[in-house]
Amino acid sequence: MRIEESVVEPLLAVVDANLYAARYQMAISLGFHIILASFGVAYPFFTFLAHYRGYRKRDVVGLRLAKRWSKAMAVLFAVGAVSGTILSFEMGMLWPGLMGPYGDVIGLPFALEGIFFFIEAIFIGIYLYGWNRLSARVHLFTLVPIALSGLAGSFFILTVNSWMNGPEGFTIAPDGSITDINPWAAMFNSGALVAWLHMLLAAYMMAGFLLASTYAVRWLRGNRSSVTRLGFLIPFTVAAIAAPLQVMVGDIAARALMERQPAKFAAMELLPDTRTRAPLTVGGIYVDGEVVGAIEIPLLGSLLATRDVNGEVPGLDVVPDGDVPPVNVVHIAFQVMVGIGTFLVILAGWFGWSWFRRRGPPESKLFWIGASSAGVLALIALEAGWTVTEVGRQPWIVWQIVRTSDAVSASTGIVASAIAISALYIVLGIVTIVVLRIIARRMDAGDDVHTPYGPSGTST
């Protein structure tokens, strides 16, 4: 008995330390990579719009922006390749209890995402090399497979995450083995489409508002050039269109979540008890089973969740004690996401109304201050949304099937790995920002004034 305790207790201590270190490492890796992945989805589309305008209207400003943005796109793609590769190794190294038994179930979308990753890389190279070498039409349309590959790659990754939140496509035999594997059913699970659309719109919002905010800052500083104007209008317009669509998709996602993951939904809404005529809770924290410091709007919770003021909304009382997620983290992250999203929708509406009335953005300085802050706020909302998704699923890594504590590796060295990965991402982030600033300064100095259409070398 003493021998067993001397062996088991240290092992449990290692697993416990590994659990927190592994979760921290995945949080850092995902939080860093999701920014780059969002740019990988949205940036090719922005570049295409700028290049298409330049091609159709013989507009040198559009072509200059396309050339400038394509260089930033390549840098972000390269850094994203590094962080994505790290993530692929982390999934197997940190979580053998997930990838071991269920690798055959969710391996297909990982493989397909890899194929589209290489397609995107190839055509980015062709597009960058194609200036002054390809015909105008061919050069323009090399952007199409880049954009489509980004969309497809994001879909396959989101299907894996959706599967983790609602596993399908397999059967667990009485002996615990995984049988009747259907990777297509797992990939096209019931929550995949909504999850992908929600993330897709978030990517366009984050990348669009963040790119536009750099030009909004220039506008506030008095730079009213045609490059600044068009550089602001293209990404901001896309993000402004995505913002109200995100509200609709988010509503669909939240209502589906109430059925599929009531524990996460109750934590988001900070609802201790299942009830009808539930209020909407704004702010507040959860302390000893009670909500403290919140503002409650009567009936609105039931109305939004069920479309009926008398509808029943699940609370935390339906969740077993050991399965309650970190309520305050989930609720605060959800409130941050919704609050910022509301601000961005208002800003988008202001922009749309001004464009409808006078075919131009608002002239108010207040609008441009809001636009200059929209990028950072959209990035925060993106990270908050992922916090809700991932932390709200805890303590499960695969919802109600595999606990996170059971999936983590028992190997030593994970704490050191988490520290090393954190240092790596700090260096990568600093290098990326420095390189992007160097590119911006060189472009501002005028090294892209002559932007040729094709092999003739003639500029617009």
Give the model's pLDDT for residue 11.
41
pTM of the model: 0.87
Give the model's pLDDT for residue 4.
46
Quick one: which of 149, 70, 95, 202 has its CA closest to 417?
95
pLDDT bracket for residue 18 (50, 70, 90): confident
Give the model's pLDDT for residue 78.
83
Give the model's pLDDT for residue 6.
45
Mean pLDDT of 348-354: 91
Residue 380: is its pLDDT beyond 90?
A: yes
Give the model's pLDDT for residue 322.
81
Give the model's pLDDT for residue 446.
56
**Which pairs count as long-range contacts for 291-300, CB under 8 Å and 24+ apart, including other chains?**
294/270
pLDDT bracket for residue 445 (50, 70, 90): low
Query: Which of 208-212, 222-226, 442-446, 448-452 tops mean pLDDT?
Result: 208-212
pLDDT bracket for residue 460 (50, 70, 90): very low
Domain boundaries, the chain: 15-173+191-274+314-444
For the chain, count helices (H), then strands (E): 14, 8
The full DSSP string for 254-321 is HHHHHHH-HHHHHHHHT--S-EESPPEEEEEEEETTEEEEEEEETTHHHHHHHSSTT-EE--GGGS-G
Give the model's pLDDT for residue 455.
36
Give the model's pLDDT for residue 443.
66
Q: What is the pLDDT of residues 94-135, one digit of tens each?
A: 888 888 888 888 888 888 888 888 888 899 888 888 887 888
DSSP code, position 411: -
Give the model's pLDDT for residue 298.
81
Q: Which residues pair with 296 in a beta bridge?
A: 281
